[in-house]
Amino acid sequence: MKKIFVTGGAGYIGSHVVKALGEAGYQVLVYDNLSTGNRWAVLHGDLVVGELSDRQLLSNTLRDFQPDAVMHFAAFIEVAESVSNPLKYYRNNTLNALQLLEVLQELNIGRFIFSSTAAVYGTPEEIPVAETAPLEPINPYGASKMMSERLLADLTLALPEDFRYVALRYFNVAGADSGGRIGQAYKNPTHLITRALKTARGQYPALQLFGTDYPTEDGTCIRDYIHVDDLAEAHLVALRHLLNGGQSDIFNCGYGHGYSVREVIEVAKKVSGVDFTVIEADRREGDPAALTAKSDKIVSELDWKPRHDDLEYIVRTAWEWEQKVDAKLSD
């Protein structure tokens, strides 16, 4: 039984990957400070509550567990906050990643999967965007992830036989576990689908629609939404790649096409059965008109087979989770 160490495994994406790892028969140890994650979200394995900045605890935990691979999800992810408080993001997302890699090198742990983001591309000139596109992040969140990717690339060049990694660049992750056990549980969510569904439930008086004058068919931004379970499966195929001797690489995680904000809102209204209020607002600074993934590489090279490329399914699983999340958060 292969052993996998997962930082941030109590959070939204990390917990879905832990679920998939457990169901696939891996032995899992989660390391999370529970700042945004939840104990109840860890469905498999054990949980160690700790900070990545606590080098002694991190080193002792890894030395005792001796994992075959590490998956690193622990990071701050709010773009607006990264702009107002950039040092917080560089300290947590980049410096803590550096410390984790130093500990792994000391312990000769050499297989690593990194949770990256499409934000490393900034505002790409060509859509859909390929992994070879220039990295030009336009906010500290994207820059902090780009810096971590550079750490990984340089470490691999220095230790080509001892260290290999896969970085997965996520597009817009949404939806929830089809069994209704876990899902997004942020106290102040910024994701469109979650905000729309919470508005449908009456938790917000209205949903703001930022920008209606983009050069798209209906004037609103287009994004590539990927179901969180398909993203979890992408991590498993990346893990198998590394454990089977595969080389370091980077892959986009998206479906290769997108939906506009208006289209998402209409599906949210249909699924929820609520015609909630939408208020049109000015564009947000830095939002590209369209951002979709060129995702054929992970399909062809890692044999990734997404099963939930359906916006209504994505929204429906998120809506079913919304009926349960308040009770979970009050546990």
- 75: nearest Cα among 141, 158, 21: 141
End-to-end CA separation in angstroms for the chain: 32
Structure tokens at 88: 């917080």
Q: pLDDT 10s digit of each residue in the chain, 331 long?
A: 999 999 999 999 999 999 999 999 999 999 999 999 999 999 999 999 999 999 999 999 999 999 999 999 999 998 889 999 999 999 999 999 999 999 999 999 999 999 999 999 999 999 999 999 999 999 999 999 999 999 999 999 999 989 999 999 999 999 999 999 999 998 778 899 999 999 999 999 999 999 999 999 999 999 999 999 999 999 999 999 999 999 999 999 999 999 999 999 999 999 999 999 999 999 987 788 899 999 999 999 999 999 999 999 999 999 999 999 988 887 6
Query: Residue 129: phi, psi to the nearest 5?
Result: -90, 135
What domains are defined for the chain? Answer: 3-174+225-253 (3.40.50.720), 192-224+256-329 (3.90.25.10)
Q: What pLDDT sits at residue 80? A: 85
- Separation between Cα atoms, residue 316 and residue 2, nearest integer Å: 34
Judge whether 141 counts as a catalytic residue: yes
Q: What pLDDT sits at residue 316? A: 98
Q: Which of 141, 165, 170, 225 is catalytic?
A: 141
